[in-house]
Amino acid sequence: MNTEMYCKTLFKEFAIGNPSMSPWDIIENLESIIYELLDSLPEEYDISGGIAIHSSAIVDPSTLIKAPAIIGPDCFVGPHGVLRGGVVLAQETTIGAGCEVKQSVVCSGSALAHFNYVGNSIIGADVNLEAGAVIANHYNEHPHKTVQLLVDNKMIDTGKDKFGAVVGDGSKIGANAVLSPGTILKPDTIVRRLELVEQIA
């Protein structure tokens, strides 16, 4: 399985990981990957305490950002959000009011409207999450805690206790929808409002 199948912009934008890494391995190692990337960012980034913010980005001062993090060119991060656990926001990403993004990569042109939670996930380019949509990252209700996923009718056990989703470029997630742990969405997928995506029962 190759991350580029689902997020073709990921390596082009920030050279995160390598094509042989699985999405869950990239996410598990995201903090250390970001720290390595900080040294190679251009001078347009203001880097302090493990947090890099591009000079063209707008970040509301009420948002809590915990290192490490990279906020790319022309991003907008609205009020009262939380970015933690290792976060990369690529160019022209919008994070609306009250969103929490944990240990995730959000690629160019994608938007989290407001009051979203995205955990341990890779969000492709030009993805839109409407208000209240959640990407869950942990099987709270299962006795078997490691996250499994279904790809080409094959079950894969990630071996990770926490992994959210890989959301393909151009996908649209409706208001108050929930993506269960291990969700894989192909490019241009539409998830209806209030829909629960649970690819493994």
Which residues participate in catalysis according to the annotation? 114
Contact in structure between 97 and 82 (CB atoms under 8 Å): no
In angstroms, the CA 194 to CA 197 distance is 10
Contacts of 199 (CB under 8 A, 6+ apart): 149, 150, 180, 182, 183, 184
Contacts of 140 (CB under 8 A, 6+ apart): none
Contacts of 177 (CB under 8 A, 6+ apart): 130, 133, 134, 191, 192, 193, 194, 195, 196, 197
Helix (H) or strand (E) holding 155: strand 154-157
Residue 187 is encoded by which pair of tokens? Answer: 């490019």
In angstroms, the CA 197 to CA 54 distance is 35
In angstroms, the CA 163 to CA 151 distance is 15
